[in-house]
Chain A
Amino acid sequence: MLKPFEQYVLKYQDMVYNIAWHVTRNQHDAEDIAQESFVRAFEHFTDFSTGEPPKSWLCTVTLNLCRDWLRRQKPVLSGEEKDYRGGGQAADQPEERAAVKEALNALDPESRLLVVLFHLEGFSHKEISEMTGMPISMIKNRLFRARKKMKEILMAEGLRR
């Protein structure tokens, strides 16, 4: 792999994988999506005046791949699904991580994705709107409801941190 592209992968692999994993909730599919995202980034690597595909562009590619995946999975996946296995971090996880997983698991995939983009990856409402095509008002509303739901679950779990 070419050096600049390898550095690009190293820079964004956690973000891409994080998004993919929170949608798919399994390592294999998340890796497939992340790999395909980087292959597409490689194909367009020299197309940008910035010297590399911007973070938001890469994120949009990942989101589109996640949506394709969700479309294929629809009959199986639901917000109520309890199987929320972490990316290889399951055995000795502290209670807080388990509680957070449960809280995130309680959200529908779209809301979870918004939480990941806004709270874990630090995108603004406007950036998320551009990436997902959702109106900003809808994003704010869904984030509000997601935070409310997560708070209720974490309070029930004791909210230790």
Chain B
Amino acid sequence: MNVQHLDEELLDRFAFGEPGELDEVERLRVEEHLAKCSKCSEALELLVRSVRMVEYWGSVKAPESLITRVRMKLRHKTVAPLMPIVVIALGITDVARLWVLAWSLSGGLSTIVEALPRMLEALSYGWTGILRVVLEIVAGSWLRMGGISAQMGVLLTVGGLVLLMRRKEWAN
């Protein structure tokens, strides 16, 4: 006897269609056919099993590093509203440090020793941090040599540049 089997798309809709996708008559027709046709029943079972396999094994869990990355990124975001105040405060301390560096140290080796921890800190900020510290050291050396007007000029220029760089570091 020549049996008319259910087509694949109908079987797929029967198995994974959302409620109401097959009308009641169509659904009953499929159920009746499946009850007496082993070939279609087997095809349906294989389809369902393959999808269940995908559902069971297909998911990937987020690595633990993800939440740490999100935390790190958001730390900068939550600090951002305070940025202008923080930047100005840091800028003032930078300028003050320059002044102290210029007048209290004898220069040379001690300047480098004082600058080393700052260099390490600056590395974490990338190129702007490194450039800023180099600028501070150079400016500190100049300050020791110049007159009061030159000193004020250097302080204002370097202070402005340092503020700009701090701003870029915090924006990152």
Partner-B contacts on A (CB < 8 A)? 1-2, 5-6, 9-10, 13-14, 16-18, 21-22, 27, 31, 34-35, 38-39, 42-43, 86-89, 94, 96-97, 99-101, 103-104, 115-116, 119-120, 124-125, 143-144, 147-148, 150-151, 154-155, 159, 161
Contacts and interface: CB of A to CB of B under 8 A. Distances in A.
A96 to B, nearest CB: 5
B54 A161 contact: no
B55 A120 contact: yes
Contacts of A96: 53, 56-57
Nearest to B17: A140
A95 B164 CA distance: 57
B50 A88 contact: no
6 contacts: A14-B60, A100-B57, A147-B50, A151-B47, A151-B51, A154-B53
Contacts, number: 121
B61 A14 contact: yes
A31 B65 contact: yes
Contacts of B9: 144
A120 B59 contact: yes
A119 B65 contact: no
Contacts of A34: 62, 66, 70
Contacts of A103: 50, 54
A144 B70 CA distance: 36
Given A16-B62, A31-B63, A143-B16, A39 B57 contact: no
Interface in B1-25: 8-9, 12-13, 16, 18
Interface stretch (B71-79, B82-90, B123-131): B71-79
Contact of A147 (B16, B60, B71): B16
Contact of B58 (A27, A39, A116): A116
Given A17-B61, A159-B46, A115 B16 contact: no
Given A9-B70, A42-B77, A89 B60 contact: yes
B55 A150 contact: no
A86 B46 contact: no
B118 to A, nearest CB: 29
Contacts of B12: 144, 147-148
